[in-house]
Amino acid sequence: MNEQLHFADSGEAADLAAFLGRLVHYDRAAAVRLQARAGGGALAVFGRPPSFDVLAIRTVRLAGAAAVPLDLTVSAGELLESVDEGDRAGAVVPAAVTGPPWAGVLPPRGGWTPVPGLPGPEAIRAALAASVVEFRARDEALPPQHRTRSERDRIGREIWSRTLGDTDLPLRAVHAAQSLGFLRPVRSTVPAAPTPPGATDPVALLAAGGWLRLRTPYGSIATRRPGGLTALSVRPV
């Protein structure tokens, strides 16, 4: 019998379902790696949306401490189908799948320290919006004979590889954060979701070993630092 997960409330279940839905939107065959420590009260869900070259991390509060450790890679779509967003607020852990290469190389659990130079939330969104406008303008300016996938990919790599503010964080990490629902608009006609318990600064940049992590109250985006291949954390899948 597959293991049952019990979330702290229906909101946690809904947030997980939204995250998994976005991953499946980008890749119907998406996989996620699940980790929970025995005695811990949270489940970490790792995913890798294609084309962004980053890892996305969503933490889900559990209804109680995990009885046994959990560490396996499963189908994001199968996990999504099992999520109960009602009063039961839970999910069934699907059968393990052969993990993609990224699932064996995860950011470290601890040792994260703040990195200065990150702009404020409004400036981050402004930089992202300007990059999207630039990409569309350059794409539309391409002559018909050059409007190919390879040329569009080249423009995208050039734009999204630029760094944000006075940091080494590539813009593609911010783009991924917005696309996965980790960045919320400052003003909206729809009431904003409440900040999860324990969240402090709205957005922060952290570093550990060869990794950078853009942390938001709704999830994190991790990416390797330039020249940071010597500090990777390799774990069995």
Within 8 A by CB and 6+ apart from 15, the residues are 58, 60, 218
Q: Is it the case that residue 79 has pLDDT exceeding 80?
A: yes
Which whole number is the average pLDDT over 212-220?
95
Q: Span 96-118, mean pLDDT?
A: 93
pLDDT cut 70: percent of the chain above it: 88
At a CB cut-off of 8 Å and minimum separation 6, what does 214 contact?
169, 173, 174, 177, 182, 203, 204, 205, 220, 221, 222
For residues 190 and 151, which has the higher predicted lDDT (pLDDT)? 151
Q: What single-letter DSSP state applies at residue 91? A: E
Angle, helices 121-140/149-160, rounded to nearest 10 degrees: 150
Q: pLDDT at position 237, please?
A: 42
The pLDDT-based confidence of 68 (bands split at 50, 70, 90) is confident
Helix (H) or strand (E) holding 76: helix 76-82
Mean pLDDT of 136-154: 93
Binning pLDDT at 50, 70 and 90, where does residue 232 land? very low
Which of 70, 57, 95, 78 has its CA nearest to residue 5? 70
Name the residue with higher pLDDT: 189 or 158: 158
Which uninterrupted H or E stretch holds 61? strand 55-61
Domains and CATH numbers, the chain: 4-106 (3.70.10.10), 113-208 (no CATH)
Identify the band that residue 227 occupies on the pLDDT scale cut at 50, 70 and 90: low
For residue 167, pLDDT beyond 80: yes
- Give pTM, 2 decimals: 0.85
Average per-residue pLDDT for the chain = 88
| Opening angle at CA 128, ends 126 and 134, nearest 5 | 100
Using the predicted structure, report yes or no on whether residue 198 has a pLDDT greater than 70: no
Does position 92 have pLDDT exceeding 80, yes or no?
yes
Beta-carbon neighbour count of residue 126 at 10 Å?
A: 12
Mean pLDDT of all residues in 173-186 = 85
First to last CA, the chain: 21
Q: What is the pLDDT of residues 9-49, one digit of tens each?
A: 999 999 999 999 999 999 999 999 999 998 989 999 999 99
d(CA 39, CA 141): 56
Mean pLDDT across 126-149? 94
Asked if 231 and 210 touch (Cβ cutoff 8 Å), the reply is yes
In this model, does residue 226 exceed pLDDT 80? Answer: no
Q: For residue 152, give the 3-state DSSP assignment.
A: helix
pLDDT given for residue 185 in this prediction = 53
Could you identify the residue written with the tokens 């979330």? 7
Q: How confident is the model at residue 201 (pLDDT cuts 50, 70, 90)?
A: low
- Under DSSP, is residue 233 helix (H, G, I), strand (E, B) or coil? strand
Strand pairing partners for 208?
Answer: 211
Q: Which backbone phi and psi does 168 adopt, to 5 degrees?
A: -95, 10
